[in-house]
Structure 1
């Protein structure tokens, strides 16, 4: 990510840019901004959609991460033995659009997606939307990435990968991996979350928001069934989300004095209802 930011700024001649991240795309930004704080000056606004830093309350734990975590050592040995470290590779996932296009299998594809992401039949009215989604999702990840997420779920913390006592001591000078220093993330940040997101729980988002020193706002998408992928595929994403995002981008990049119509008012850390839904 630092190389990408430097390249964009070099090509455009700009001093800073805006970064929009979704899900793991937000995680990557928080890691970079905490470990390489000089890059905060190069980001005039970060917009986090379904942000993921803390993840102990995610509702997909039982369906995804718990089965993985219970067998993680077996998976680790198997991957090392066969020298394969990628999960859900595109060439393995490619049959999904074809399978989910079948009228008999399509309901099953919907149910599996809803178990992982949160149920929402209202923003996915087109019966073919599941075919489009499975053409891009899942997009593949590494075993180590999924293992790191599992560690975050178990530890209920946002910290570096736990390599084990010996390797941790060699890398970090401690038996335990260090926490990411969220207070070092000084770039302006706006967070968007939803109550039906099975991978980004509102309380976990609040925990992140509470520690950010330059929080622009934390906004709830005003639709009760908005799930983790609705940020990308929802039928009404423009009115529910994108208009607000574009207004924020306009305000921070063009320095316009305009009042953005946001889904909800900005949360104040000192308000009594900050931790309530």
Structure 2
């Protein structure tokens, strides 16, 4: 039954729109203030001025990048800190808990914070020549391009603006996968990253359980069908899915039972104490946001191929793109930057067994941290109610120690 519900939701997820991505969705009026506010408005509400930059990648994507310089500037001699969000998400994720979010907490401590957005999401939905609403080529990317093009453009902009030669980084889920892509394919960037704290590290996805394992097993057929239907974008902010999500998930009690207990937690791990019903109406105003179908399928390939490698186009496509029938494998031995891994025992996406594989492959893991909260799941890293208790102390230790 759960699988049927998720398939139905995925159908709505990728079909239909209430208008162009630049139009205001009237359904947002049912959301609370924090569910409607954008990044700069959230920062202002919680006492900070956020500056917005536009970064253009070498292949023409225009990315949104935000900066909060820190309330007291007490850390003015410290390296800037770059935070990268997870899949189908945006920089908003780091502010959604307000004064108890990681972004606001670090800003209150005076850190110079930079919040990146990868191509396709609501802050990075622009290109020098392609229209995301008309040109399917805009969506021809996966997490490979996020790491190979987006991340270096963001890092270079941060370093150019601040005058530093290195930065510290915090990535959540896909937000650290792209660092592995970058540092293995463009190893010169290892010297620009002082330390990277990986929250819910995603690299290998071969020990996940149902329902995620079910979707990985059917991903090839699902991708072929959706591609044939011309569906390349997932979770447009004004899609019918996002509209239905807001309507259903904000229903008292029923919305929480359906959206969180029946759909979200089976994938991420259950932890109702950290994602309470009152927070859901804030969350659905920001998540999910647009991403490429190809990104989702690339992760699925990593799962069923049991290899952290580049996108598999099939023999003919691989010959055209790689001059080989087999896609290149990312060489993790080339990642020399310091890595801190933070894992949760109840995480059903970034499982402990898969993170162990990653740990064995990376040559410079300087610390491996298991969350003291045994119920901590995948999404607690950014949306958990009590992160200040079980996560933030470790973040401060890493930023101050390295």
TM-score by length of structure 1 reads 0.85
Distance in structure 2 (CA, Å) of the matches to 1:66 and 1:134: 28
* In the alignment, structure 1 residue 193 sits paired with structure 2 residue 340: no
1:155-194 map, 5 Å:
155-194=305-344
Q: Which moved more, 1:162-171 or 1:198-207?
A: 162-171
CA shift, 1:198, in A, is 1.5
1:64-143 map, 5 Å:
64-79=215-230, 84-92=231-239, 93-103=242-252, 104-111=254-261, 112-124=263-275, 126-143=276-293
Q: What CA deviation, in whole Å up to 9, does each residue of 1:3-44 have, x standing for no partner?
A: 110111011000100111101111111001100000000000
Distance in structure 2 (CA, Å) of the matches to 1:180 and 1:74: 28
Describe the SS at the equivalent of 1:21: strand
Structure 2 residue corresponding to 1:37, chosen from 177, 187, 201: 187
Do 1:63 and 1:116's aligned partners in 2 also have CA atoms closer than 8 Å?
no
Distance in structure 2 (CA, Å) of the matches to 1:64 and 1:36: 32
Describe the SS at the equivalent of 1:34: helix
Describe the SS at the equivalent of 2:283: helix
Describe the SS at the equivalent of 2:391: helix
CA, structure 1 residues 223+207, in 2 after alignment: closer, same or farther (shift >3 Å)?
same
Do 2:202 and 2:355's aligned partners in 1 also have CA atoms closer than 8 Å?
yes
CA shift, 1:163, in A, is 1.2
Q: What CA deviation, in whole Å up to 9, does each residue of 1:176-214 have, x standing for no partner?
A: 001100000000000101111111011111111111111
Q: Which moved more, 1:87-96 or 1:56-65?
A: 56-65
1:180-259 map, 5 Å:
180-252=330-402
Distance in structure 1 (CA, Å) of the matches to 2:229 and 2:187: 37
CA shift, 1:251, in A, is 1.7
Name which structure has the greater RCO, CA cutoff 8 Å, separation 6+.
1
CA shift, 1:95, in A, is 4.2
Distance in structure 2 (CA, Å) of the matches to 1:172 and 1:127: 48
CA shift, 1:99, in A, is 2.1
Residue 160 of structure 2: aligned partner: 10
Structure 2 residue corresponding to 1:49, chosen from 199, 216, 219: 199
| Structure 2 unaligned spans of 5+ | 1-150
TM-score by length of structure 2 reads 0.59
1:53-64 map, 5 Å:
53-59=203-209, 60-62=211-213, 64=215
Describe the SS at the equivalent of 1:47: strand
Do 2:216 and 2:304's aligned partners in 1 also have CA atoms closer than 8 Å?
no
Q: Which moved more, 1:239-248 or 1:100-109?
A: 100-109
